[in-house]
Amino acid sequence: MALPVPTLHLGGTHADDLLTEFQGAINAAQALIQAMPRPHGRDYLSHAEYSAAREAYQALTQTVASIKKELEEAGTKVADAQAEHRARALRGVGGVAK
């Protein structure tokens, strides 16, 4: 499911603020991936428990990586919209330069 991208307009949040928020969320997702404890065989009594822990770890990191990718894609779209607004403002063609 794609994250809906905010529309840039005069009454909305400034594009720079949106980009800062997206970057903060992206950084937090990366930090979560790095902070998640990796399973180690010595911490499990059986191979089956260790295998289950590895699978769960991989699934969780893939989920967070997917969320991070969604945030990156949405942030890129906001940045692209911001650039388009600025370009239109410089050309004098309606829109808002944010």
pLDDT, tens only, 47-66:
999 999 999 999 999 999 99
Residue 63 inside a domain? The answer is yes
Residues 6+ apart with CB under 8 A from 39: 50, 53, 54, 56, 57
Residue-level pLDDT at 10: 85
**Using one digit for the tens of pLDDT, what is the confidence trace for 3-30?**
888 889 889 999 999 999 999 999 999 9
Residue 47 inside a domain? The answer is yes
Residue-level pLDDT at 89: 82
When divided into structural domains, the chain yields a total of 1
Residue-level pLDDT at 3: 84
**Using one digit for the tens of pLDDT, what is the confidence trace for 30-46?**
999 999 999 999 999 99
**Using one digit for the tens of pLDDT, what is the confidence trace for 83-96?**
998 888 888 865 55
Residue 65 inside a domain? The answer is yes
Domain that holds residue 21: 15-91
Q: Is the pTM of this model over 0.95?
A: no
